[in-house]
A and B are shown apart, each in its own frame.
Chain A
Amino acid sequence: MNPTIRTQGLTKRFGRTLAVDHIGMAVPEGSIYALVGANGAGKTTLIKLLMNILRASAGHSVVLDLESRRLTGRAFERIGYVSENQELPEGMTVGAMLDYFRGFYPTWDKALERQLVRQFDLPLKRRLKHLSRGMKMKAAFASSLAYRPALIVLDEPFSGLDPLVRDELIEGLIERAPETTIFLSSHDLAEIESFSSHVGYLQSGRLLFSEEMAVLGDRFRDVTITLGSPAALPADLPATWLEAQTADCVVGFVHSGYSDDAPRELAARFPNARDIAFEPMTLRQIFLAIAKNGRVAQGSSSHDNSTRETSARQGLTQEKEA
């Protein structure tokens, strides 16, 4: 089965700024892929490259078996794209917009349209320019789901929305999940954790990891080691240990390469350990650990970015490489 989206060496420069840096990724068909990263990490740029809104400086990407740069016209009959920055035909009413878009899609499902209108409680006779931000986003969702696209691409779709609207949108999205591939960017980790099947982490334009959510959850552990006596951190910390610190007799770190062998390996490294505790981590905790690790590395070795990135990638992609 071909991935719905795949990229290779995808790069985008804006002058001297490297916004997207040699990204290679694959989004499996039927997955709900969440692209996470801090503001300015390059998520929107990456999505615009995939959607042929921007042109890549190097590398290439394939979406639904079509080169992104050839993604025009009829190719969008199979893609639903919603972005927080996307403009809508503001002069139209919601009903007129749906009527208008209906003419572009042979697969438009009028029954589904009615269902979405009901589900999102859309005011058909109100002009889009008079709608709240949440309502506009719901209208955009409805107009992008009603034709049952094979791929739904969402760029920060929940940003700035109240929890109620977010829940409604997520619910609408999850209902479509069995028949489509969903690719969304967000920094709202708590939400995407609840329904994403895959996650990719983008930092400063580079994809630090891209894997299944379950595998990621298995790979990261919050480790607390209680020692028999106070001890300093070993000098040769593995790259997979993030945020390592020690206080008195306790050593703590985030293990980004946790496996069944980890307890035995740690017991061997800390022979005077009285207790070794492994706590599963939420996506938010994983994200923060990675982000902090990146910042610390950036601060300590800003003169040598390549070292930092190499170190971070070595640790964070260990599972994938394995």
Chain B
Amino acid sequence: MNQTLHIFAKDARRFWAEIFISVALTAAFVSIGRYLWTGAESYSAGSVGVLAILLGMLVPVSWWILITRGIQAERLVGDTQFWITRPYRWDRLLAAKVLFLLVFLYVPYFIAQCLLLVEAGFAPQDSVAGLLFDAMLLTGVLILPLAAIATVTSNFARMTLTLLGILLGFIALAIAGSTGFSKQGGGPESSVGISICFVLAAVFVSAAILLQYSLRRVWVTRGVLLALPVLLLSALNFASKYDQAQVDRIYPAALGATPIQLAYSPSTGGHEKVTLRASSSAMVPINLRFAETGIAEGYAVMPDDVRVEISAPDGSHWNTDWLRGGGYRFLRGESQFTEGISMPKAIYNKYKSMPLSVHVDFAITQAQAGKVTAVPMPLERVSVPELGICTPINWTQELGQAVGLHCVAAVREPQLTYISTRWSEGPCSGAPTAPDAGTIGTGWAGSLDPTPGQLNLYPIVDLNVNLSNSHVQEANGGSHYLCVGTPVAFTQYKAVRRMQTSVDIKEFHLPPISVAGNMITITQ
């Protein structure tokens, strides 16, 4: 331990300037970071908001410098370093570097997160688990990879070049991904496989660091790190299949009545046109329109994932994997919605003139309304238990004439919450809108399965509450208002059932497409 502290003290003295800059940037970020999430204020933040964004990028850059300098103070590449013929113990050296990062990176980061939470009106002690989860994500996504690269490069310049190379690799992969690979839409809602990949990558990179510190076999460690992308691509492929299988496991076929009735509802009105560049039209987007009914009072239903199978009269068929749904949340009542898939152009050309049979599977979640919290519309801000803090959005400096509601949560998304209130048809006169007056405004916030945290320097999550009917539906337009004192109800929903349901469509015809120049238009 003495040797660990001895090396740590040396690094702390030697890199005081880098440490000072990193801590100063973090402090500066804390002082103006609120402009990044304070809703209406951010619109008027101007250059301060830009500076806050800039600081949000500079802080990780300062960490990169700190990690590189700290680790390469006892360079692990080469055979002329002073320390390799001194009584350094590799485990103590590694412990000293970990301590260095803990004290000068994680502690300032943690303090900054707590201060930002306090500034936003949250108690940090209520979010310790989320903050630790954030720190774990930060470690896996940023700190460990940077540390691993620092152990196999000899100086800052080589480290930078290596990072640039990795960045170019990612760009190339992204380009290949957007042009070469078939894409039918996003993956399913379940992403356990991705979490497994994350853990696998973190373990692999940690092992590479341990290997390099214990043996200093640079090419072996570099080989291990170079093998990581290959391993990850294989793991992602496996994860994708795992996630597909998970959908069938998590959403079993419905045995009895389903909590929602779905039916194909082709558009009877005007046709919608979608125009694409020919270069990006290897896939043809197909939209399917449905109507939903039958949801019981006190419940909500969400079609999380969708799977489509198309059969042709000649016996051939084509199907998608489970794809993420459109993010709809349905309550009691009737409504229509559209789910989109992408079909390879070759398949489209094969089936375009045939009457098709379409079988659509929906993986649905039924959620039940639970605790309801009603708060009066605040003048400035109000704390909503188990959700976060909400503030009125004002277009003018005049308080009490809110045109919307802005809510934030601490560290992570809250449990799925339905928000409902009444809009005043005109500017507020000082009295709240009566429960039976005005126009209803509703919205959703949060998620049914919120992750414990998120990878973000800002521990505040913007909940994007978009209340419906915010604008007056008249020729002259204008806005509705949320008057101070008007009750706002926050209803929590929790998942109670997950299952599959399906819709069969007979005599379905693919929408026609027309090509003009390098543009393709789909009419449906």
Contact = CB atoms under 8 A, between A and B. Distances in A.
B81 interface: yes
Contacts of B273: none
Nearest to A92: B14
A73 B88 contact: yes
Interface string A57-92: 000000000000000111111010101011111011
B301 to A, nearest CB: 64
B497 interface: no
Contacts, number: 49
B85 interface: yes
B158 interface: no
Interface stretch (A13-21, A99-107, A229-237): A99-107
A217 B232 CA distance: 66
B2 interface: yes
B10 A87 contact: no
A143 B109 CA distance: 38
Determine the interface band of chain B, counting residues with CB < 8 A from chain A. 10 to 19
Determine the interface band of chain A, counting residues with CB < 8 A from chain B. 20 to 34
Contact of A89 (B2, B3, B6, B82): B82
A241 to B, nearest CB: 41
Given A91-B14, A100-B10, A103-B2, A53 B79 contact: yes
Contacts of B299: none
B85 A87 contact: no
Contacts of A91: 14
Nearest to A54: B79
A176 interface: no
A229 to B, nearest CB: 60
B180 interface: no
Which of A74, A92, A104 has the most C-beta atoms of chain B within 10 angstroms of its own C-beta? A104
A53 B87 contact: no
A51 interface: yes
Contacts of B84: 53
B473 interface: no
Contact of B85 (A79, A89, A100, A103): A79
Given A77-B87, A91-B14, A103 B6 contact: yes
A187 interface: no
Contacts of B89: 72-74
A76 B85 contact: yes
A104 B9 CA distance: 13
A48 interface: yes
B316 interface: no
A104 B87 contact: yes
Interface in B38-87: 73, 79-82, 84-87
Contacts of A103: 2-3, 6
A53 B6 CA distance: 23
Contacts of B10: 100
Contacts of A77: 87
A86 B87 contact: no
Contacts of A75: 87
B106 interface: no
B468 to A, nearest CB: 62
Nearest to B73: A89
Given A73-B90, A74-B89, A77-B87, A86 B82 contact: yes
Contacts of A74: 87, 89
13 contacts: A73-B89, A73-B90, A76-B86, A87-B81, A87-B82, A88-B82, A89-B14, A89-B73, A92-B14, A100-B6, A100-B10, A104-B6, A104-B88
Interface of A: 48, 51, 53-54, 72-77, 79, 81, 83, 85-89, 91-92, 96, 100-101, 103-105
Given A73-B87, A73-B88, A86-B85, 14 more contacts: A48-B79, A73-B90, A76-B88, A77-B87, A83-B80, A86-B82, A87-B80, A89-B82, A92-B14, A96-B13, A100-B10, A103-B2, A104-B6, A104-B87
| Pairs of residues from A and B, 8 with the lowest C-beta to C-beta distance, nearest first | A81-B85, A73-B89, A103-B6, A76-B87, A77-B87, A53-B79, A104-B87, A85-B80
Interface of B: 2-3, 6, 10, 13-14, 73, 79-82, 84-90
